């Protein structure tokens, strides 16, 4: 079967789909993955058939920050730019996917993938990293973690309805433009005759969802046997107690230098050692010292297992990696689904209460670090959750669900 995975996201959001693509290849499928062009070389090195979508996600993240990104799904003032970029991507995807038997993708991939699949006359399989895709009383809305727990099923229903509207309405103009200007389809999508096949790449140990959902477990990349850690990093890790790992991934702040100063002072005040990952966050103006080492990128699966705690932004992929490592998380959510994962970390008792990015201070971060290092009950819960997650095989489960689901669709 020829499968095209559409992965339009940051590095942390693309990586689970890269893992899924590799697993589907090993299961005997021909898989192509389409992602922003700054990921093409990396995906190709993983042995994948990777094709580029015009534009760099790092540039898009910086543009969103300059436009005053406030955590919404679509940055303010970028609607027209988003439409024009989507038209380019739709033309590219139409060519990349023309021989595919099925298209797959998450929230970002579905924006274009559903319409491309309709044009090609093939199914689109929703492959989500978050519990989205339905309005239900069974779980809270991913974008409404502030909904009080006492509202119960009614609150869940309202929250999930708000979430689904927020994930679809801002992209309606994109769909209309793509369908009429690129695909030659009617302006509005027709209502599907049956519910689409959906996969969920997270763990039931982390999010409780209805039993009939295809929750497979997380989609993790296997270790790269050719990768070796930098000598200076190994020396740093060997020189003292396990450090905290701090990084905010692709979240580009308005003043990265100020963030760097805040983080290093909090580390000093907490009396811990730290590995700082600069990523796209711009925290590069930090000098390596006896207790702090600054790195660009290190595989999370390798580094987090050697850390005492992880400070991160709460992206789905980074949260998954930290939970699998079995160490506490200190989450500083910036927006979109990150507050949801931050709240789940706290609710599971594997990290302190989330820290507001807007109100982040040296004191609040130092206090959270102290808790993550010294609260033995919290550390024990994190270790036990990590064991349960590591026992899952989300990729094999996803391949099995996909094969069975598509077989049923073909038989119909």
Task: Identify the pLDDT of residue 412.
Answer: 46
C-alpha distances in Å from residue 317, one per residue of 10, 235, 324, 345: 10, 27, 11, 13
Quickly state the pLDDT bin for 411 (edges 50, 70, 90).
very low
Q: Are residues 168 and 205 in the same domain?
A: yes
| Shared-domain flag, residues 159 and 205 | yes
Q: Are residues 240 and 109 in the same domain?
A: no
- Which range marks the domain in which residue 182 is found? 2-218+392-411
Distance CA(69)–CA(403), nearest Å, equals 39
Q: Residue 228 above 50 pLDDT?
A: yes
Q: Is the pLDDT of residue 75 over 60?
A: no
Element (H, E) at 53: strand 49-53
Residues 333 and 399 in one domain: no
Q: Are residues 185 and 262 in the same domain?
A: no
What is the per-residue pLDDT across 132-190, written as a single tens digit (0 to 9) for each? 988 888 888 999 988 887 788 898 899 999 999 999 888 899 999 999 999 999 999 88
Q: Give domain status of residue 305, yes or no.
A: yes
Please check whether residue 309 lies inside any domain of the structure.
yes
Least confident range from 125-129, 201-205, 260-264, 365-369: namely 260-264
Tell whether 226 is covered by a domain: no
Is position 48 within any domain? yes
Same domain, yes or no, for 173 and 243? no
- The answer on pLDDT for 342 being more than 70 is yes
* Confidence at residue 259, expressed as pLDDT on a 0 to 100 scale: 81
Looking at residue 343, the DSSP 8-state letter turns out to be: H
296 with 402, same domain?
A: no
Task: Supply the pLDDT for residue 74.
Answer: 57
User: Which percentage of the chain shows pLDDT scores above 90?
Assistant: 65
Give me the pLDDT at residue 65, please: 56
- Strand-pairing partners, residue 199, are 127
In a domain, 19, yes or no: yes
365 and 278 both lie in a single domain: yes
Mean pLDDT (the chain) is 89
* N-to-C CA span, the chain: 17
User: At residue 10, does pLDDT exceed 90?
Assistant: no
pLDDT at 56: 81
Domain count, the chain: 2
Q: Is residue 318 part of a domain?
A: yes
Q: Which residues pair with 52 in a beta bridge?
A: 35
Query: For residue range 275-308, what is the model confidence (pLDDT) as tens digits?
Result: 998 865 555 566 667 889 988 889 999 999 999 9
Q: Which residues contact 229 (CB under 8 A, 6 or more apart)?
A: 298, 302
* Residues counted in the chain: 412
Q: Which residues contact 57 (CB under 8 A, 6 or more apart)?
A: 9, 10, 11, 36, 38, 39, 250
Whether residue 399 is found in the same domain as residue 383: no
Whether 271 is in a domain gets the answer: yes
User: Looking at the domain assignment, is residue 112 inside a domain?
Assistant: yes
| Residue 267 and residue 374 in one domain | yes
Catalogue the long-range contacts made by 74-79 (C-beta closer than 8 Å, 24 or more residues apart): 74/170, 74/171, 79/170, 79/173
Q: Which of 58, 127, 55, 122 shows the shortest CA–CA distance to 94? A: 122
Domain shared by 385 and 396, yes or no: no
Q: Cα–Cα distance between 399 and 394 in angstroms, integer? A: 9
Give the mean model confidence (pLDDT) for residues 115-122. 95
Say which CATH number the domain at 86 has. Answer: 3.40.50.2000
Any idea which of 180-184, 395-399, 408-412 has the lowest mean pLDDT? 408-412
Give the least confident one: 43-57, 208-222, 267-281.
267-281
Evaluate whether 385 touches 323 at the Cβ level (below 8 Å): yes
In this structure, the answer to whether residues 272 and 214 fall within a common structural domain is no
Whether the pLDDT of residue 68 is over 90: the answer is no
């Amino acid at each position: 079967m020829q499968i095209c995975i559409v992965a339009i996201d940051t590095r942390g959001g693309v990586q689970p789909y890269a893992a899924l693509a590799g697993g589907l290849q090993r299961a005997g499928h021909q898989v192509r993955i389409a992602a922003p062009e700054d990921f093409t070389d990396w995906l190709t090195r993983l042995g994948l058939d990777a094709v580029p979508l015009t534009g760099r996600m790092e540039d898009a993240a910086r543009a969103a920050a300059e436009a005053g990104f406030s955590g919404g799904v679509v940055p303010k003032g970028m609607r027209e730019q988003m439409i024009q970029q989507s038209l380019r991507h739709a033309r590219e995807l139409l060519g990349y996917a023309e021989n595919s038997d099925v298209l797959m993708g998450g929230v970002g991939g579905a924006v274009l993938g559903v319409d491309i699949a309709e044009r090609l006359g093939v199914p689109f399989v929703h492959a989500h990293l978050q519990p989205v895709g339905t309005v239900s009383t069974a779980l809270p809305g991913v974008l409404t973690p502030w909904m009080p727990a006492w509202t119960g099923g009614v609150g869940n229903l309202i929250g999930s309805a708000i979430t689904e509207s927020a994930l679809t309405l801002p992209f309606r103009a994109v769909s209309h433009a793509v369908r009429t200007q690129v695909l030659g389809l009617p302006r509005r999508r027709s209502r599907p005759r049956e519910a689409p096949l959906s996969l969920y790449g997270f763990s039931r140990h982390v999010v409780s969802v209805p039993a009939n959902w295809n929750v497979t477990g997380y989609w993790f990349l296997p270790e790269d046997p050719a990768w070796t850690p930098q000598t200076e990093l190994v020396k740093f890790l060997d020189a003292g107690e396990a450090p905290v790992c701090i990084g905010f991934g692709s979240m580009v702040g308005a003043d990265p230098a100020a963030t760097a100063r805040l983080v290093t002072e909090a580390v000093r005040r907490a009396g811990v050692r730290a590995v700082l990952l600069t990523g796209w966050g711009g925290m590069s103006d930090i000098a390596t010292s006896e207790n702090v080492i600054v790195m660009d990128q290190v595989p999370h699966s390798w580094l987090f297992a050697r850390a005492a705690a992880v400070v991160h932004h709460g992206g789905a992929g980074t949260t998954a990696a930290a939970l699998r490592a079995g160490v506490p998380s200190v989450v500083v959510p910036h927006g979109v689904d990150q507050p949801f994962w931050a709240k789940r970390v706290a609710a599971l008792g594997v990290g302190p209460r989330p820290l507001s990015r807007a109100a982040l201070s040296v004191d609040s971060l130092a206090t959270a670090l102290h808790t993550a290092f010294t609260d033995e009950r919290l550390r024990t819960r994190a270790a036990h959750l990590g064991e349960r997650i590591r026992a899952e095989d989300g990729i094999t489960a996803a391949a099995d669900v996909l094969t069975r689901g598509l077989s049923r669709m073909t038989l119909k």
